C-alpha cells in the first residue's frame, strides 16, 4: 500500500485491469486526473479526440476489435452529455466500455454549480451500471467492479462519475480485483435438459437453419460454431454484427439476414423446420413482421441474456449460457448428418439475386460508379483480410453486402442505434487496437461530416486509417425511403458538399477523388501504396438503391429486388 491522490488511484486501478489505451478530452472537473496522467505516459497511451462523442466511438472500435474494455475520460457538463450517443450505442450493441466522467465536488452537488449535471440520472437507463465516486477510498473498489460488470456476461458500458474532491483526496491505495457481485449472475446456469431437447430437435430436423449473431464473437466461439454446424450439416446466415464470425467463403455460410440481406436466408427463414438462433436478439431489422416470422419452425434460442428469450420471437427451446460453453454440449449429442438437398435449395434464390441485383452492382461497365463495385474493389485489394468499419446508411449496407472476410472481429459498425458519425472515430479505435492490420472505413458524405473533426486525431496520432467516402450528394438511405415510399418527395435530403480532398489536405492526409472505373483502380492502388492515412472520395451514382430490401414491418419474405 502507498498513499496517493484519488486521481492516481484511478490510473493505478485501470492499469491493474490491463488498460493501456484511453480515449478522452480534458476539462475543468477532470484536470486532476489529467495532471496525474502526465506521470504515467509510459504506461497509458492517451488519445486526444476532437469531441467527446468521438472518444466513445473510438473506445467502441477499440473494444470490438480487441475484445478488451474500451476506456474514455471526459469532463463534466457538456463533456458528459456529448458521450450519451456513444454510451447508448455501446449498450444496445453489447460493447464493453468504461466511461470516467469528471464531476463537481461533493459539497457542490445539487447546487447547479458550473457544468454540474446529473450524470447518474442521465446514464442509468443506457448502462449496465452507473456509480458516483465521492470518496477516494472507494476508487479501487469502484473501478474493479466497473470493469467486471462491463466485460462479464453480456458486455456493455459502465459510467463512473468522479467528483473533484475524490480526485484530490489522498488514500492508502491497494489494487482490487472483482470476480463476484452478490445478486449479479453474468452467465446463467446451464440447463442440461434444455441441451438434450435442443440436440433432439436438431437431430430430427429435415431443414435446420442457424442464425449467427454477435454473441458468437463476444463469446469467442467461432471454432465451436463451426464444429456445431459441420457435424449436423446446418446452413447458417449472419446478422449485421455477426458478419465476420464466419469467413465469407465458408461453405455453410449462406449470407446476411435482414432488411438489406440476401434473398435466400430471408426466404429460408420461413421454410425451415428448426430455426436455431445463436447469440442474436431477433432485432426488428431481421424479423420484419413477427406475426408471420418463422411460424412453421421450432425455434431454439442460444443466448447469455435471459431477458432476450421470447422477448421478440417466442422460443420453443431456450439454451442459456455463453455459446462457447453451450454449443459444444449440444454438438456432443448431435448425430453426424447431411442436408445436401436442403442446402442446395438456397442456390435458386442466390441465382435470382445475382441476376436481378448483384450483377448490376458489380459488373456494370458503363455509367456512374456504383457503391457495391467500389466496396468490392477495396475488398479485393486487401485480399479480404482487413478490418471493415462503416458509418451508417447506404454505405453501411453496401459494405456489409460486398466486403469479404477471412478473419473474425473484422466487422465494426453501429447496429442497434444506427449512429451516423460512428465511422471515423470507430476506425481510429480499431486501428489502435490492431495496428498491424489494415483498417478500411466506408462512410457516406452525411456521416463523414458529422465527425470529420476526428481527422485531427488521425493527423496528430499518425493513425493509418484508409477512408473510402462514397459521395452521392444525398442522405442516401433517407432518399431511398422517400423514393420508394414517399412518392419521390425528396424533403431535406439533398446535400451541397465541400471539397473533401481539400479538407483532407488541411489535415495533412493524402487523398484523391475518383469518378471513373479507371480512376478507381488507380486510386485504390495509390491508397494502399503505404501505411499512412488516406481519403479516397468516390463519386457514386446519385440515385442508387440498396437492394434487396424488405420494407420495415412487412413479412421477411416480402423482398424488393428492383
Q: Is 298 annotated as catalytic?
A: no
Q: 3-state class of 159 per DSSP? A: strand
Q: Which domains does the chain have, with CATH numbers?
A: 2-173 (3.40.50.970), 192-347 (3.40.50.1220), 368-539 (3.40.50.970)
Work out the angle at residue 52's Cα, subtended by the Cα atoms of residues 46 and 58, and round it to the nearest 5 degrees: 60
352 CB burial (10 A radius; 0-12, 13-18, 19+): middle
Catalytic residue among 2, 3, 114, 355: 114
pLDDT reading at 240 higher than 90: yes
pLDDT band per the 50, 70, 90 thresholds, residue 498 = very high
Say how many C-beta atoms besides its own lie within 10 A of residue 417's C-beta.
17
Q: 3-state class of 169 per DSSP? A: coil
Work out the angle at residue 104's Cα, subtended by the Cα atoms of residues 99 and 105, and round it to the nearest 5 degrees: 115
- Distance between CA atoms of 61 and 21, rounded to whole angstroms? 12
pLDDT digits over 72-118, tens only?
999 999 999 999 999 999 999 999 999 999 999 999 999 999 999 99
pLDDT digits over 251-301, tens only?
999 999 999 999 999 999 999 999 999 999 999 999 999 999 999 999 999
Residue in 254, 242, 246 with CA at minimum distance from that of residue 215: 242
pLDDT reading at 1 higher than 90: no
pLDDT reading at 407 higher than 90: yes
pLDDT at residue 369, rounded to an integer:
98
For 230: left if phi > 0, alpha if psi spans -120 to 50, otherwise beta; the answer is alpha
Q: Are 444 and 393 in contact (CB under 8 A)?
A: yes
Q: Say which residue the cell 463495385 belongs to.
A: 373
pLDDT digits over 501-510, tens only?
999 999 999 9
Q: Is 115 annotated as catalytic?
A: yes
Q: Is 420 annotated as catalytic?
A: no
Mean pLDDT of 205-231: 98
pTM of the full predicted structure? 0.97
Q: Is 114 annotated as catalytic?
A: yes
pLDDT reading at 166 higher than 90: yes
Catalytic residue among 68, 128, 164, 370: 164
Catalytic residue among 8, 17, 52, 224: 52
Catalytic residue among 115, 227, 407, 453: 115
- Distance between CA atoms of 414 and 167, rounded to whole angstroms? 34
pLDDT digits over 314-346, tens only?
999 999 999 999 999 999 999 999 999 999 999
Q: Are 424 and 454 in contact (CB under 8 A)?
A: yes
Mean pLDDT of 477-506: 98
Q: 3-state class of 280 per DSSP? A: coil
Mean pLDDT of 445-471: 98
Catalytic residue among 49, 91, 477, 527: 477
Q: How many residues are recorded in the chain? A: 562
Mean pLDDT of 406-411: 98
Q: Please provide the average confidence, as pLDDT, over all residues in the chain.
A: 98
Residue in 88, 193, 108 with CA at minimum distance from that of residue 417: 88
108 CB burial (10 A radius; 0-12, 13-18, 19+): middle
Residue in 423, 421, 444 with CA at minimum distance from that of residue 544: 444
User: How remote is the C-alpha of 365 from its chain's centroid?
Assistant: 33
Amino acid at each position: 500500500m502507498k498513499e496517493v491522490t484519488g486521481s492516481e488511484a484511478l490510473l493505478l486501478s485501470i492499469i491493474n485491469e490491463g488498460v493501456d489505451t484511453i480515449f478522452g478530452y480534458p476539462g475543468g472537473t477532470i484536470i486532476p486526473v489529467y495532471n496525474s496522467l502526465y506521470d504515467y505516459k509510459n504506461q497509458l497511451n492517451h488519445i486526444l479526440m476532437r469531441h467527446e462523442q468521438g472518444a466513445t466511438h473510438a473506445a467502441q472500435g477499440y473494444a470490438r476489435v480487441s475484445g478488451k474494455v474500451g476506456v474514455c475520460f471526459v469532463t463534466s457538463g457538456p463533456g458528459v452529455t456529448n458521450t450519451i450517443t456513444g454510451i447508448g450505442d455501446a449498450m444496445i450493441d453489447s460493447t464493453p466500455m468504461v466511461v470516467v466522467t469528471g464531476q463537481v465536488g461533493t459539497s457542490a452537488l445539487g447546487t447547479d454549480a458550473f457544468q454540474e449535471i446529473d450524470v447518474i440520472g442521465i446514464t442509468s437507463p443506457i448502462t449496465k451500471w452507473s456509480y458516483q465516486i465521492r470518496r477516494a477510498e472507494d476508487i479501487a473498489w469502484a473501478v474493479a467492479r466497473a470493469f467486471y460488470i462491463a466485460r462479464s456476461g453480456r458486455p456493455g458500458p459502465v459510467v463512473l462519475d468522479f467528483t473533484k474532491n475524490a480526485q484530490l483526496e489522498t488514500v492508502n491505495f491497494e489494487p482490487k480485483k472483482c470476480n463476484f457481485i452478490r445478486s449479479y449472475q453474468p452467465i446463467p446456469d446451464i440447463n442440461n435438459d434444455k441441451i438434450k431437447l435442443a440436440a433432439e430437435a436438431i437431430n430430427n430436423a429435415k431443414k435446420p437453419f442457424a442464425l449467427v449473431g454477435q454473441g458468437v464473437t463476444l463469446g469467442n466461439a467461432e471454432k465451436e460454431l463451426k464444429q456445431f454446424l459441420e457435424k449436423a450439416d446446418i446452413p447458417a446466415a449472419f446478422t449485421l454484427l455477426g458478419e465476420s464470425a464466419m469467413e465469407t467463403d465458408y461453405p455453410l455460410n449462406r449470407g446476411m439476414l435482414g432488411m438489406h440481406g440476401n434473398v435466400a436466408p430471408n426466404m429460408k427463414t420461413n421454410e425451415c423446420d428448426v430455426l436455431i438462433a445463436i447469440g442474436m436478439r431477433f432485432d426488428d431489422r431481421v424479423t420484419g413482421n413477427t406475426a408471420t416470422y418463422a411460424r412453421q419452425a421450432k425455434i431454439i434460442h442460444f443466448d447469455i441474456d435471459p431477458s432476450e428469450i421470447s422477448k421478440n420471437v417466442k422460443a420453443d427451446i431456450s439454451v442459456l449460457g455463453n455459446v462457447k460453453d453451450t454449443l459444444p454440449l449440444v454438438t456432443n449429442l448431435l448425430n453426424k448428418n447431411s442436408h445436401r438437398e436442403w442446402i442446395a435449395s438456397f442456390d435458386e434464390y442466390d441465382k435470382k439475386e445475382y441476376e436481378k441485383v448483384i450483377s448490376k452492382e458489380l459488373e456494370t461497365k458503363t455509367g456512374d460508379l456504383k457503391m457495391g463495385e467500389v466496396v468490392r474493389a477495396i475488398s479485393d485489394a486487401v485480399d479480404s483480410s482487413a478490418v471493415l468499419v462503416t458509418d451508417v446508411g447506404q454505405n453501411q449496407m453496401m459494405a456489409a453486402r460486398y466486403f469479404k472476410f477471412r478473419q473474425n472481429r473484422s466487422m465494426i459498425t453501429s447496429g442497434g442505434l444506427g449512429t451516423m458519425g460512428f465511422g471515423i472515430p470507430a476506425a481510429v479505435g480499431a486501428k489502435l487496437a490492431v495496428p498491424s492490420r489494415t483498417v478500411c472505413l466506408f462512410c457516406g458524405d452525411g456521416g463523414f461530416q458529422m465527425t470529420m473533426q476526428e481527422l485531427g486525431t488521425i493527423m496528430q496520432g499518425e493513425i493509418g486509417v484508409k477512408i473510402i467516402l462514397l459521395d452521392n450528394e444525398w442522405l442516401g438511405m433517407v432518399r431511398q425511403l422517400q423514393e420508394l415510399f414517399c412518392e419521390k418527395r425528396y424533403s431535406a435530403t439533398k446535400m451541397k458538399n465541400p471539397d473533401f480532398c481539400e479538407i483532407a489536405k488541411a489535415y495533412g492526409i493524402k487523398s484523391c477523388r475518383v469518378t471513373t472505373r479507371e480512376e478507381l483502380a488507380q486510386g485504390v492502388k495509390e491508397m494502399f501504396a503505404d501505411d499512412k492515412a488516406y481519403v479516397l472520395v468516390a463519386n457514386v451514382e446519385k440515385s442508387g438503391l440498396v437492394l434487396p430490401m424488405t420494407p420495415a414491418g412487412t413479412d421477411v419474405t416480402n423482398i424488393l429486388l428492383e
